């Protein structure tokens, strides 16, 4: 469903006087001026809509019909800025409005969000003339390929880069299979995956690798977390093998962490991949707890929340997990380099 605000109401003292200001002084267009049904106090009611040229939302100029409405003229927002006129050329429009007699209440100023100055309309309503600052786009990346066919990972990455308007595609959309994970670390495998996808598509690519590292097992399952039991993706078998390996290990010696490594390459031979890592500390339980999550979540205990990863609210888990932390770190690095 698509919805939008068609118009907002501005109470005025006289239709023609208001039209003259908004059209002649502000440069708006008169979109509609048709007779309306008479109402008490306003027998000549009209439907009058003005708007900046090309804007979707208009302003309905409503002539006050009684004392209560007249008292609101010029004070609809209690003295606060109530309207925001965006422009793609602040200097041009600031000079033009001043030349047409529009009263500005301050000199132009630079804010983190753009160049702005407050002005008044003929009734005293306050407006911002604003040229928004262009959003930083990470490294001028026009499209990005995720070196995975996992839909959950794809949705996470799209959400991460939503404000940069960068289209993200799974490598499966290009008919690309998984790369061989021959690296000796999570970072190496992430880079291998990214280069594989970039080479096959000719586009920038993001690779990731993650796993569970248990101190008492010298970092195992580690790189082999997904196939620890011998069958890729068999979570129940992987957990069973893990618990068996730790059957004689006391609770205070079961420290572990989830690790996620991300690598972004601009092209297949990129000598400086952008790297990010996320680590989630915890310990391994003696038995599964909780029905949520996936993989090793039921036996991974998060002491800061006093529950297993499988018992966490999904939104909270996505934010504090190794993957959530790695994604947040990657986003910070991308936008920092763009600036």
Residue 270 is among the residues annotated as catalytic for this protein: no
Name the nearest CA neighbour of 324 among 264, 239, 225, 258. 258
User: From residue 103, how far is each of 29, 53, 167 by CA, in Å?
Assistant: 20, 21, 43
Contact 187, 193 (CB under 8 A): no
159, two tokens: 């959400």
Q: How far apart are CA 307 and CA 292, in angstroms?
A: 12
List for the chain the helix, strand, coil content (%; round to 5).
Answer: 35, 30, 40
Name the nearest CA neighbour of 143 among 121, 167, 126, 175. 167
Cβ-Cβ contacts under 8 Å for 200 (sequence gap 6 or more): 171, 174, 176
β-pairing verdict for 144-146 and 205-214: parallel
Q: How far apart are CA 290 and CA 278, in angstroms?
A: 23
Exactly one of 93, 121, 208, 209 is catalytic; name it. Answer: 209
Cα-to-chain-centroid distance, residue 30: 36
Contact 221, 214 (CB under 8 A): yes
Q: How far apart are CA 299 and CA 286, in angstroms?
A: 7
Contact 251, 286 (CB under 8 A): yes
What do you get for the CA distance between the two ends of the chain, in Å?
Answer: 36
Q: How far apart are CA 61 and CA 45, in angstroms?
A: 11
β-pairing verdict for 58-63 and 7-12: parallel
**Which residues are catalytically annotated?**
209
């Amino acid at each position: 469903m698509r919805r939008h605000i068609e118009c907002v109401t501005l109470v005025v003292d006289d239709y023609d006087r208001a039209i003259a200001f908004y059209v002649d002084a502000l440069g708006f267009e008169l979109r509609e001026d048709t007779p309306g049904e008479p109402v008490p106090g306003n027998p000549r009611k009209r439907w009058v809509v003005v708007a900046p040229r090309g804007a979707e939302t208009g302003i309905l100029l409503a002539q006050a019909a009684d004392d209560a409405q007249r008292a609101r003229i010029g004070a609809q927002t209690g003295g606060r800025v109530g309207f925001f006129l965006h422009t793609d050329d602040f200097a041009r429009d600031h000079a033009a409005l001043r030349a047409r007699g529009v009263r500005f209440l301050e000199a132009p100023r630079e804010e983190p969000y753009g160049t702005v100055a407050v002005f008044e309309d003929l009734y005293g309503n306050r407006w911002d003339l604003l040229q928004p600052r262009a959003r930083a786009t990470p490294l001028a990346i026009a499209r990005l390929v995720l070196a995975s066919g996992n839909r959950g990972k794809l949705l996470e990455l799209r959400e991460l880069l939503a404000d940069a308007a960068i289209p993200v595609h799974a490598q499966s959309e290009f008919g690309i299979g998984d790369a061989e994970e021959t690296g000796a670390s999570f970072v190496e495998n992430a880079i291998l995956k990214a280069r594989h996808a970039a080479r096959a598509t000719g586009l920038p690519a993001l690779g990731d690798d993650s796993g569970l590292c248990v101190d008492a097992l010298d970092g195992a399952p580690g790189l082999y977390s997904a196939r620890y039991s011998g069958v890729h993706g068999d979570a129940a078998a992987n957990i069973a093998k893990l618990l068996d390996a730790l059957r004689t290990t006391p609770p205070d010696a079961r420290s572990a962490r989830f690790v996620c490594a991300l690598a972004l390459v601009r092209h297949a031979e990129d000598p400086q991949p952008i790297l990010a890592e996320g680590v989630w500390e915890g310990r391994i339980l003696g038995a599964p707890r909780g029905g949520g999550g996936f993989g090793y979540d039921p036996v991974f205990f998060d002491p800061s929340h006093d529950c297993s990863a499988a018992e966490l609210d999904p939104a909270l888990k996505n934010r504090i997990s190794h993957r959530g932390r790695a994604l947040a770190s990657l986003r910070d690095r991308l936008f920092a380099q763009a600036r």
